Structure 1
């Protein structure tokens, strides 16, 4: 009888220890991003050498490294700090992406997120509820590093990414600036691992029964290059708190209005331009 009681006590303590460990579970995942964007350039305005330099410069803008800090209920996704390459003084590149955050906090338990974005020098905090992502589970599997991953897909409407160069008075580009972006249906493909049983992932992706290690939406690829579980000295996940609070719809309206104001300002100053080049890319929203 004594032996049985002792066994029950030991088992209970073991389960309690495991439960406490699960509650304190945390980790960091490093992701690399790349984006495929086609820019049509007029050969009468830009020679082949400048064309290539601009394409390389643009490509670098989307090759980034992000860190996802996570626990069972929360995550924080932000770009790894690094020094950017200098941009040529005669080239102005404007990239507006309402789908990408400077810092993205997600609370799965409370089904909400906070996105910190800086637009034209002003900081916004976009606070909204997490939408339910309609994933379809597929049969394929593959290995990413040491993890076995399962495939899931989702249909999604996205804007067609376009770009151009405005040299002096480019009326064709000006006419396109005020057009609504064309939309197309794309298939988002994600690979997740149940070996890390959290329903989280990079950027705007979550909602699968394991950490998402790779995702592709047809133009952008996000791939995990490293996972560290229960790292020592890992900072707590802190929700961003500084900035003007708006919801997602209001934020997109504000960005659209500011873009129109910038276009009008640029038009009024067009006669003062020094012949520099401008690349403008709109993504999302």
Structure 2
């Protein structure tokens, strides 16, 4: 059966690879959050639910990829502001608003609009060249046969969607060490919640692509496989294609965004880091006074 699926996928690829391809792919994005790992062990279940509800607009999104053979534009579907989480992690997330992201696979160009603390930036970069490891494993996603591929991706140190609890993962060390660590984290949270999280240097990305739509494109910055990426998992975030419209009559025009101050990826990361460090110092200053904690340098 698997051999038949592969043969059918190759057949479709040969028949349409020489054609001009255009389409729209709709992706549902969901990010999970380990409330216990983020200091939630001391919270009631009602409090955890309240925080999860406030963070929902950050953790569940819909994106639209409009693509042709070589280009694409990737945008979040517009929704009403739900006035989600304020303060700490929520405040940091709400200060960053991603805009349209343009990819040109022929020129290897990546351009995206970002708004950060009310300032607009036009970030220029190259399309990441991941070293995909393709397997013969396949599955059906809707009407398409999809194949599995994995790669290791370096993580932007300011990408807080990749954040995880700081320190050893569960299962390491004895129970007393865990309790001491949790007590320490709980105390830290009153000063600076950002002390309790870290962004990993790299993560493993798993993608499912279909040669039946032979464009080397996918959601976000992901590309480089011999078919459109229909499903992707990176750390705690999963993107799943819920709908595809091939050769639509009316679509957004695919063109590079132009809004904002033009900066390189490295320059933008430096701007974000400086502002984040400034926020943390201000937060520590307010939380440290009267917090009963001394000896912190």
Do they superpose with TM above 0.5?
yes
Q: Which runs of 5+ in 1 are unaligned?
A: 1-17, 165-169, 273-285
Q: Deviations over 1:24-52 (max 9, x none)?
A: x31100000001222333565x4432222
Contact (CA 8 Å) 2:88, 2:193: kept in 1 or not?
Answer: no
1:102–1:179 distance in 2 versus 1, CA, 3 Å: same
Contact (CA 8 Å) 1:30, 1:65: kept in 2 or not?
Answer: yes
More helix by share: 2
Other-structure match for 2:49: 52
- Alignment of structure 1 residues 1-285 onto 2, 5 Å: 22-23=19-20, 25-39=21-35, 40-41=38-39, 46-87=43-84, 93-96=90-93, 101-158=98-155, 161-162=163-164, 172-173=188-189, 174=191, 177=194, 181=198, 183=200, 185-270=202-287
Shift of the alpha carbon at 1:69?
0.4
TM-score (norm 1): 0.76
TM-score (norm 2): 0.73
Contact (CA 8 Å) 2:27, 2:64: kept in 1 or not?
Answer: yes
Find the aligned partners of 2:102 and 2:272 in 1 and give their Cα distance. 21
Find the aligned partners of 1:98 and 1:120 in 2 and give their Cα distance. 5
Find the aligned partners of 2:95 and 2:215 in 1 and give their Cα distance. 26
Q: Deviations over 1:36-77 (max 9, x none)?
A: 222333565x44322221123224421100000011111000
More strand by share: 1
Secondary structure at the counterpart of residue 67 of structure 1: strand
Find the aligned partners of 1:92 and 1:178 in 2 and give their Cα distance. 11
Secondary structure at the counterpart of residue 90 of structure 2: strand
Find the aligned partners of 1:189 and 1:63 in 2 and give their Cα distance. 19
